[in-house]
Amino acid sequence: MANARSVSPIVRLIQSLGEEKIRFQIVGMSAAILQGVIVTTIDTDIWVDLHERQYVRLMNLVVTQGGTPLAPTLYALSDGRLVNFLFTVHGLRNFEAEYSNAANATVEGEPVKVLPLERILKSKKTVLRDKDRLHILQIERFLKGRKRLKETIKVSGRRKTA
């Protein structure tokens, strides 16, 4: 009998959040990457539907999976990948409102909810850290290109049917 496929630490964490019934969505540039923006980022930001005082629940999940706490919300998973848990995201509505409009994506085949690019853009424009300026430009360019592509496809579709 073949061995079961090994699951990466990030997928194991995502599955554990689901098992613990902790709603979450990927936000920040990791969410942008999952939606096609070509950038790099050093961590995965995960917005959780928990009160900040419940950070210990998250710490226990990560530590039992071999991860290391670096700060109350920042962890290194067993493979070294950094995960940052967020309890609020500046410039946006509450978790429930944003979650209801979340996009679908996958992380290594595991389904996840992600904050749509337009909402990532709004948050980044609100916070406006130095690194956000470049991210804003990259997301805006991507959205502009995606819009042009949709318009081209729409026009091409009309020509073929005419």
- Does residue 138 sit within a domain? no
Split into its structural domains, the chain has a count of 1
Residue 63 maps to a domain: yes
Q: Angle 27-147-95 (CA atoms, 0-180°, nearest 5)?
A: 25
- Residues 102 and 115: their CA atoms lie apart, in Å, by 5
Neighbouring-strand partners of residue 76 = 68, 82
- Residue 113 burial class via C-beta count within 10 angstroms: exposed 0-12, middle 13-18, buried 19 and up: buried
CA dist 142 and 150 (Å) reads 12
**Domain at 39, CATH number:** 3.30.460.40
Q: Is residue 101 part of a domain?
A: yes
Rg of the Cα atoms in the chain: 18
Exposure string over 33-72, b if 16+ CB within 10 A, otherwise e: bbbebeeeeeebbbbbbbeeeebeebbebbeeeebeeeee
Could you tell me if residue 147 is inside a domain? no
Per-residue pLDDT of the chain (162 residues; tens, 9 = 90+): 555 568 999 999 999 999 999 999 999 999 999 999 999 999 999 999 999 999 999 999 999 999 999 999 999 999 999 999 999 999 999 999 999 999 999 999 999 999 999 999 999 999 999 999 999 999 999 999 999 998 888 887 776 544
- Asked whether residue 145 is assigned to any structural domain, the reply reads no
- What type of residue sits at position 51? H
pTM: 0.90
Residue ranges making up the domain that contains 98: 9-117
